[in-house]
Each structure stands twice: as structure tokens, then as C-alpha cells.
Amino acid sequence: MKRGDKPNAPHDAPIVIYDGQCSFCVRQANRLAGGRSGIVLRSFHDEGVFDDYPGLTRQSCAAEIKLIVGQRTYGGADAVVRAFAIRHPAIARFLPLYDVPGIRSAARAIYRWIARNRHRLPGGGS
């Protein structure tokens, strides 16, 4: 799907909403949506995104990637981990390890640092 296209995927397809004006974010979103994942990409800068997903705000999407699966919305590190499990089904069985004490909080802290500095990372320029 080209950036800006309205998805015509099944209603239950996972949706990743990301910063489509950040080169680093675009590369990472494309990695999550590759293969047979069925993940649909939407830049939060595209027209109609907030009409389609009224629970989201520009501010929350600018702060972290979002993954919508069914009626659930995940953000930041939680979204990346779940999207990665969708992208790589064999790895999904290890998803419970994310609940091991300390792992989730460490992943969230690392994600927040990357998100704050994404425009300074290699390839992160807009």
C-alpha cells in the first residue's frame, strides 16, 4: 500500500499508525509490515486518519507508533513487540516473555529514548 492510500484491507487487519514524515519511522514501519503480516500502514499525517480512528490524537501519534488490532490499541514498545509477533508468527509464542518483570519497563524506556531522538538517528532526517 502506498503512503496516503486508504486501506482496503479486511476490517480486522492490524493497522500501524506511524510518523510518515520521519525517514527512520517509515523504514521501521515497513519492516513491521513486510512479508505476509497483513499489517496495513497509515501515516498519522494522512488525511482522514483521525476520522477513521477517533480515539487517537495527533499528539499521541507523534509521541509513539500505534498498533490497532481489533478493538485494542497498543502504543510505543508494546505496539512494536505485538506487531513484530504478527510479522513473525514463530516468534509470537515468546510474547509472554515480555511480561517478565523488568523487560516491559526496559523496552518502554528504550523505545521512549529512540522516539525522542528518532530525527537524530541514522536515516532519521525528515
Is residue 126 over pLDDT 60? no
In percent, the amount of the chain with pLDDT more than 90 equals 62
Quote the CA–CA distance of 39 and 16 in Å, as a whole number.
7
Spatial contact of 7 and 15, defined as CB atoms under 8 Å apart: yes
pLDDT at residue 46 in the model: 94
Q: What's the whole-model pTM score?
A: 0.84
Is residue 69 over pLDDT 70? yes
CA distance to 44, 52, 55, 119, 123, per residue, from 72 (Å): 18, 14, 11, 28, 31
Is residue 88 over pLDDT 70? yes
pLDDT at residue 1 in the model: 41
For the chain, domain boundaries = 15-117
Is residue 104 over pLDDT 80? yes
Quote the CA–CA distance of 19 and 105 in Å, as a whole number.
23
Helix (H) or strand (E) run with residue 91 in it: helix 89-92
Question: What's the mean pLDDT in 45-49?
Answer: 94
Is residue 52 over pLDDT 70? yes
Is residue 102 over pLDDT 60? yes
Question: What's the mean pLDDT in 86-102?
Answer: 91
Is residue 110 over pLDDT 90? yes
Is residue 120 over pLDDT 90? no
Helix (H) or strand (E) run with residue 80 in it: helix 76-87
Quote the CA–CA distance of 43 and 49 in Å, as a whole number.
8
Would you give the distance in Å from CA 48 to the centre of its chain? Answer: 18
* 3-state SS, one letter per residue, for 10-55: CCCCCEEEECCCCHHHHHHHHHHCCCCCCCEEEECCCCCHHHHCCC
